[in-house]
Amino acid sequence: MARIELTVDGAQVSDDVEPRMLLVQYLREKLGKTGTVIGCDTSNCGACTVHLDGRSVKSCNVLAVQANGHEVTTIEGLAEPGSLHAMQEAFHECHALQCGFCTPGMIMQSVDLLNDNPNPSEDEIRNGLEGNLCRCTGYHNIVRAVQAAAAAGATTAQPAAEKVEA
C-alpha cells in the first residue's frame, strides 16, 4: 500500500491505496465521487475527465499515487453545492446531452478549453473536444453550449451564481 495525500474538490484527503489503483477508481470507490464516470476504460472516450492541478486529464489513465500531493477537481467540485457552473448552465440551456453519460467529461474538458482559449472558434471547440466521445447525439449542441458559455465568460473557479453578477 502507498500513502497518498491530495486535495479533491477543495477537501484534503489522505488514504492508503494500492499503487495500481487508478485515479478514477479512487474518486468513485473510495471517495464516492460517482459524478466522474468510467466510459471506455481505455483512455479514448474522455468521460472520466477531471482536472489535475487545473489541467484536464483522463482519470482512468492516471494512477491515484500519481495524484499524491496534487489537486483534483471533479464535476462535483466545479460549482458550490446547489449552484451550477456557467458551463453546466450552458449544457442545460442548449440541451447539449441526451443520455448524459459523456456529460461530466465533456463539461470538464470544455471548462479546460475555455481556460486556455476564452473565445474559441467552432473549429477550435471541435478540436479541443476531440478526446471526448458522445455516442447519442453528435456534437452540434455541445459546440453550441461551449459557445454560449464562452459568450457568458465561463472560467473554472467561479460558480455560475458569481458569474451572473460579474
Which residues contact other proteins by CB under 8 A? 2, 18-22, 25, 41-44, 46, 49, 52, 55-58, 61-63, 65-66, 68, 109, 112-113, 116, 128, 130-132
Cβ 86 to other proteins, closest distance in Å?
20
**Which CB, 35 or 131, lies closer to other proteins?**
131
Count Cβ neighbours within 10 Å for each residue of 12-38 and write b for 16 or more, e otherwise. Answer: eeebebeeebbbbbbbbeebebebbbb
Residue nearer to other proteins on the CB measure, 21 or 79 = 21
Looking at residue 74, the DSSP 8-state letter turns out to be: -
Least separation in angstroms between CB 105 and other proteins: 9
Closer of 52 and 148 to other proteins (Cβ) = 52
- For residues 158 and 166, what is the distance between their CA atoms, to the nearest angstrom? 10
Residue 130 CB contacts under 8 Å (≥ 6 apart), including other chains: none
Residue closer to other proteins by CB (options 129, 160) is 129
33, 38, 41, 43 alpha-carbon torsion, rounded to 10°: -80
Distance in Å, CB of 45 to other proteins, minimum: 10
